[in-house]
Chains A and B, each alone.
Chain A
Amino acid sequence: MGVSYGVPAVAIAALLVVAIGVLYNGLVARRNRVHTAWADIDVQLRRRHDLVPNLVESARGYMAHERQTLEAVTQARAQAISAGANVPARASAEMLLAGAIGNLFVVAERYPVLRATENMLLLQEQLTSTENRITFARQHYNDTVLEYNTAVASFPRNLFAKAFGFSSAAMFAAEEHDRGVPQADLKS
């Protein structure tokens, strides 16, 4: 009598294991996509770091009297690089850098000769593109977080997600607003 119950039970158990395995792999894949998207934001931020020296050098020849503006940019960049993996310090340093670069372009408006040089135009395009890339990287991160959170919260994955250690990830915008916006002092 045990045999007639044993075989179907084993089959059902095997099916359950396979099903849970498939669902678990889906969660793992989505969580890895979230981690990758987060790292990709970092890649784009570093790209901005790399573009700054070229920008400062191109501008220095024409904007000899704007030493402070140029210094602010260089200092902000150094700060951002040194902040490294410390998330709150890094976030504020990156915002400082964005502000300093924007300030530099505002000042450069006063030098039409500089603005018209091909090098400067291309650099401006590269920096605009970099800002766009940072934004799109954050947008992509939010999209992957949305997908991951939906998967973790929906049936049937929510039955075992907590047990295996999957929890909701945080969207990007929420973090930034929690930290608060530091006031940048560009005259230092």
Chain B
Amino acid sequence: MPSASLGPHDRESFFAAQRRNRRATWRLTALCVLTALAMGIPLTLVLTPLFYAGTLVAADVVTYFRPLPPEFWAAMKDLSQLAVRVGDYFFHNKPLDPQLLAGGLTVLLLPGMAMALALWMAMLALFRRAGVGGALTTVNAREPSPHDLREMRLANAVQEMAIASGLPAPQVMLVDSPGANAAAIGTSPEDARIVVSRRLLDDLDREQMQALLAHLIGSVGNGDLGIAFAVTSVFETCGLLGTLINAPFGPQARGTLWRIVRYAFARRANGSAAEAEAIAALLTGDLDLQSDDIGRFFDTDARRGPIHKFLTFVLLPVFFTNAAIKFTLWFFLTAFLGPCMALLWRSRRYLADASAVQFTRSPDALAGALRNLTQDTTAIPGGIWASHLFVVSPGRDSSVPQDKPTAEQMRLVVGAWAESSSGGSVKSAYTTGDYVRCCAELIATQRAAVAGDPAALARMTAFHRTISTLVPGPIAQRLPDPTDLTAALRGDAAAIARLQSQQRELGRHHQGVQKRTGFQAESMVSFHPPLKRRLRRLERMGAHVDWGAIRKWSSTKVIGTAIGFLILAPLVLAAGALMLLVVAVMIMLNLLFLALWLFAIHAVFGLLGHG
């Protein structure tokens, strides 16, 4: 029977926590808007000249075929004179009528801002019906089976929490994955779905599972799906800007644009949500400072024909504009807008935690569930990109010490691997170097097995047979399952996704590097709140947290961190100022290049016109 209700003191606590978090959301939203506006200014300074340059080139082309009315050229001349006067006002401090100044600034800044805003609206309208978390729907999700007791408990727990919250019960889907995690996906409270991994049902007891579901249903009820969608759309817009600039130069960007167009006109189908997320992943991938279409186009090492070289010379300013946009976007996203949105998302997580406490009236349950989850692997295949939707971060949480494989487990793994190779001998003593090498060999063999090598597949099967009997627990779950391998060879997308995530997990363990995925790559601050802070807030609401295993702040650590910050802060500020300077210089050079380019084209057309 459920426990008796708590007294008024505790009840006030979680309501107060909710109020606090809602106010924090408003503050952080305002901060995000301000940051976005601030980011808009350098972006506009890069985009607007491009816009005007494009207009002028188009005008020149049109004039060549049919002369434009002289009012057009007079207007252009007036505009350029206005721009010069605004420039004089800023750089040479010449006096200027404030009305003229305002008008000048509007003309200079507006096109870029309008373009960015229009793109954002387009992204919102286009992807709204897909919502968030679409990729998770393709990963072998199934209904809870009515014969499995644990799965029935899950279904019942969802219904109970829906009653406690007064919301419609979302559809529950189970994923058979090695990681233990859960997420809420969809567009709105009526349309929401909850994806739970089967492993979670084994790791948590009924109360803890109930608390986790209360967190997810609470977050759905608080409108977090809409907020997640808005955050996604901002990232998508930034990526789209880069893609549009890249489009004339290469197939990759054009492919992305084509997918967007196809998605816009496709009939609503089951795969549309997954497709939407794939597009979003592609767009955000463009934000990385890696080689893209333009980079490849302008690659001086490659051998190209003379026409290509001529085109390279003519289109150089666009290359520079692209570089300027990319750098501006990357810097402002990673340093300012990304962290602001991450903090906003964190406040929603805290709010969902407080909602969970309200529904279950048991802060201990949620605290226990969170503790249990972070002890184990939490990655769900297919959920890598939208990792911010999960209850617990799918990566490693650095605030809590992770269980590494013990020496005994490492020995077993290496021994089993040596056994699985035909004619391999089993040594009694292994070093850490052996384990590392073994992991590397495992990854290579698995890749070969997926590619279709029968010998590799046989070895993986033998290895898995040996290891699953010897080593239960987190190690065994990280290793690939031969049934998955055979399914992947047949083309089963879910099996392939599972294998890929396991490969990444093994590689990560082998390298010891915590990789940021999806959104997290675009922000210095993680979208997931650290476990320690969540537990501390739950403690304030009445949970009993055992801090023994988790390191608490010691005085030496505090002093050390403070000194570190004092030393680093000026360096970081200097680096930031330097970056801003670089951005400004790039914008200036961009303007210069564009002006020269325009002048040259205008002169060419003038000659053509007269000749």
> Which residues from chain A sit less than 8 Å from chain B, CB to CB?
33, 37, 40, 44, 118, 121-122, 125-126, 129, 131-133, 135-137, 139-140, 142-144, 173
Contact B152 A125 (CB under 8 A): yes
CB of A114 to closest CB in B, whole Å: 16
A14 to B439, CA, bound (A): 75
> Which residues of B137-176 have CB atoms within 8 Å of chain A's CB atoms?
146-147, 149, 152-153, 156-157, 159-161, 163-166
> Which residues from chain B sit less than 8 Å from chain A, CB to CB?
1-2, 5, 146-147, 149, 152-153, 156-157, 159-161, 163-166, 358-359, 361
Contact A129 B361 (CB under 8 A): no
B165 contact from A118, A132, A140, A142, Cβ within 8 A: A140
Contact B2 A118 (CB under 8 A): no
A143 to B218, CA, bound (A): 14
A144 contact from B146, B159, B166, B358, Cβ within 8 A: B166
B2 neighbours in A (Cβ, 8 Å) = 131-132, 135-136
CB-nearest residue of chain B to A132:
B160
Contact B166 A131 (CB under 8 A): no
A118 neighbours in B (Cβ, 8 Å) = 147
CB of A153 to closest CB in B, whole Å: 16
What is the interface of chain B mostly: helix, strand, loop, or mixed? helix
B163 contact from A131, A140, A173, Cβ within 8 A: A140
Give 30 A-B contacts (CB < 8 Å), ordered by A residue. Answer: A33-B166, A37-B166, A40-B163, A44-B163, A121-B149, A122-B147, A122-B152, A125-B152, A125-B153, A125-B156, A126-B152, A129-B153, A129-B157, A129-B159, A131-B2, A132-B2, A133-B159, A133-B163, A136-B160, A136-B164, A136-B359, A137-B163, A139-B164, A139-B359, A139-B361, A140-B164, A140-B165, A140-B166, A143-B166, A173-B5
CB of B604 to closest CB in A, whole Å: 63
Contact A133 B147 (CB under 8 A): no
CB of B582 to closest CB in A, whole Å: 51
Contact A125 B149 (CB under 8 A): yes
Contact B149 A122 (CB under 8 A): yes
B5 neighbours in A (Cβ, 8 Å) = 139, 142, 173
CB of A94 to closest CB in B, whole Å: 14
How many contacts A-B (CB < 8 Å)? 50
B149 neighbours in A (Cβ, 8 Å) = 121-122, 125
CB of A47 to closest CB in B, whole Å: 10
Contact A129 B160 (CB under 8 A): yes
A121 to B146, CA, bound (A): 12
Besides A129-B156, A133-B160, A142-B5, 14 new A-B residue pairs in contact (Cβ under 8 A), listed by A number:
A37-B166, A44-B163, A118-B147, A121-B149, A122-B147, A122-B149, A126-B152, A131-B1, A132-B156, A133-B163, A136-B163, A136-B359, A139-B164, A143-B166
CB of A59 to closest CB in B, whole Å: 18
A8 to B359, CA, bound (A): 48
CB of B363 to closest CB in A, whole Å: 15
A40 neighbours in B (Cβ, 8 Å) = 163
A37 neighbours in B (Cβ, 8 Å) = 166
A136 to B159, CA, bound (A): 10
CB of A55 to closest CB in B, whole Å: 15
CB of A77 to closest CB in B, whole Å: 19
A131 neighbours in B (Cβ, 8 Å) = 1-2
A151 to B2, CA, bound (A): 29
CB of A123 to closest CB in B, whole Å: 11
A125 neighbours in B (Cβ, 8 Å) = 149, 152-153, 156
A135 to B5, CA, bound (A): 10
A137 to B163, CA, bound (A): 6
A125 to B157, CA, bound (A): 11
A33 neighbours in B (Cβ, 8 Å) = 166
A144 to B359, CA, bound (A): 12
A139 to B160, CA, bound (A): 11
A136 to B2, CA, bound (A): 9
CB-nearest residue of chain B to A130:
B156
B157 neighbours in A (Cβ, 8 Å) = 129
A136 neighbours in B (Cβ, 8 Å) = 2, 160-161, 163-164, 359
CB of B213 to closest CB in A, whole Å: 12
B159 neighbours in A (Cβ, 8 Å) = 129, 133
CB-nearest residue of chain B to A136:
B164
CB of A10 to closest CB in B, whole Å: 34
B163 neighbours in A (Cβ, 8 Å) = 40, 44, 133, 136-137, 140
CB of B456 to closest CB in A, whole Å: 42
B359 neighbours in A (Cβ, 8 Å) = 136, 139
CB of A139 to closest CB in B, whole Å: 6
- Most-contacted residue by chain A among B1, B165, B361 (CB, 10 A): B1
A79 to B161, CA, bound (A): 29
CB of A52 to closest CB in B, whole Å: 17
A142 neighbours in B (Cβ, 8 Å) = 5
List the 6 closest A-B pairs by CB distance, nearest first: A129-B156, A136-B164, A135-B2, A136-B163, A132-B160, A136-B160
CB of B210 to closest CB in A, whole Å: 8
B152 neighbours in A (Cβ, 8 Å) = 122, 125-126
CB of B261 to closest CB in A, whole Å: 43
A77 to B284, CA, bound (A): 60
B165 neighbours in A (Cβ, 8 Å) = 140
CB of A25 to closest CB in B, whole Å: 18
CB-nearest residue of chain B to A144:
B166
Contact A126 B156 (CB under 8 A): yes
CB of A90 to closest CB in B, whole Å: 19
A140 neighbours in B (Cβ, 8 Å) = 163-166
CB-nearest residue of chain B to A121:
B149
CB-nearest residue of chain B to A41:
B163
CB of B59 to closest CB in A, whole Å: 50
CB of B6 to closest CB in A, whole Å: 11
CB-nearest residue of chain A to B15:
A146
A37 to B163, CA, bound (A): 9
CB of A176 to closest CB in B, whole Å: 12
A140 to B359, CA, bound (A): 8
CB-nearest residue of chain A to B210:
A132
A144 to B156, CA, bound (A): 23
A136 to B165, CA, bound (A): 9
A136 to B214, CA, bound (A): 12
CB-nearest residue of chain B to A36:
B166
B146 neighbours in A (Cβ, 8 Å) = 122
A131 to B149, CA, bound (A): 17
